[in-house]
Structure formats: C-alpha cells, structure tokens
C-alpha cells in the first residue's frame, strides 16, 4: 500500500502540483485573470487569448511571471492565431500568490508544466528589476527556454 509520504515523493518526482497550491492559485486566478482569460482559460476571441493549450504558458515560467509583473503588448501568436492587444501589469499580488497562480495556470485545462516556487518568482523579479514597460512577444520569446 502507498503511504502518504511515498505519494508525496511520487508527486514531486512527476512534478504534479500540491492540491493546496492549486486551490490557492485558482483563488488568485479568479481575482486577477478570470475577467479576461475566463474560467475555462479559453479567453474571449478575438480580444483575449487562451491560456488553455497556450505555447507561452508551457515555456519557461519566467514568461507568465513577466506578463504578470509588466504586462504584454503588441502582436502575439497564440495557438496559431495573432492577437494584437495589451495586457496591463497585474497589481496587488504577492510573490507567493504569483507562484501559486502560475502553478495553477501551468497545470489546468489540459496544461501540464512544472510547478513554480516563491523563490523562483523572487529571482525573476530581481533579474528584470529594471523593466518598466510591457513586454513584446519577441522579447518574451528571446528569453523563454
């Protein structure tokens, strides 16, 4: 029989997120992203791009975190479709909330990508501390591996 400890080890080896983190991340999503990207992560065509199945969500976690910290503007291709709008920087979220939220988005609606920790969010903030304006898709892509 599997003990809880071995389940937790198996989960972390497979990168499956902690259900508590997912619950907290969903609450932050519902507060800060849902108006535009919608409850099912499908966005609203043709203005708000989907997060479900988005190649940007699957890249290095710094891509979503930078979107949240500084916004993104101008043409961006998501799942083969070009969007050309503007996402404002998201204010009023702590580093821990950004970590939970990013983990939630990367592991919902069929997405499956690594969990993100508060420490990673802090490191991304330090690395891009001088950034004041929204990112372009080209800039995000350059540093997204």
Choosing from 21, 51, 99, 121, the residue that interacts with ligand HEC (CB under 6 A) is: 51
* Separation between Cα atoms, residue 34 and residue 4, nearest integer Å: 33
SS3 81: strand
31 or 122, CB closer to ligand HEC?
31
* Separation between Cα atoms, residue 108 and residue 9, nearest integer Å: 21
SS3 131: coil
Window 55-94: contact mask with ligand HEC (x via CB under 6 A)? -xx------x--xx---xxx-x-x----xxxxxx-x----
Record the tokens describing residue 45, joined without a space: 């065509």
Q: Is 53 in the site for ligand HEC (CB under 6 A)?
A: no
Question: Taking the complex as a whole, how short is the minimal distance between the CB of residue 63 and ligand HEC, in angstroms?
Answer: 7
4 or 80, CB closer to ligand HEC?
80
11 or 93, CB closer to ligand HEC?
93
SS3 62: helix
Q: Is 32 in the site for ligand HEC (CB under 6 A)?
A: yes
Q: Is 104 in the site for ligand HEC (CB under 6 A)?
A: no
* Separation between Cα atoms, residue 67 and residue 115, nearest integer Å: 17
């Amino acid at each position: 029989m599997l003990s809880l400890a071995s389940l937790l080890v198996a989960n972390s080896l497979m990168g499956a997120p902690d259900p508590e983190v997912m619950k907290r991340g969903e609450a932050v999503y519902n507060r800060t992203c849902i108006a535009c990207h919608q409850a099912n992560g499908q966005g609203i065509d043709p203005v708000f791009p989907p997060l479900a199945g988005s190649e940007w969500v699957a890249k290095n976690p710094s891509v979503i975190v930078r979107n949240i910290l500084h916004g993104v503007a101008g043409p961006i291709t998501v799942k083969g479709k070009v969007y050309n709008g503007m996402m404002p920087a998201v204010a009023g979220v702590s580093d821990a909330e950004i970590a939970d939220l990013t983990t939630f988005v990367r592991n919902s609606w069929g997405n499956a990508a690594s969990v993100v920790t508060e420490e990673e969010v802090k490191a991304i903030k330090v690395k891009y501390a001088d950034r004041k304006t929204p990112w372009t898709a080209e800039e995000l892509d350059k540093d997204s591996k």
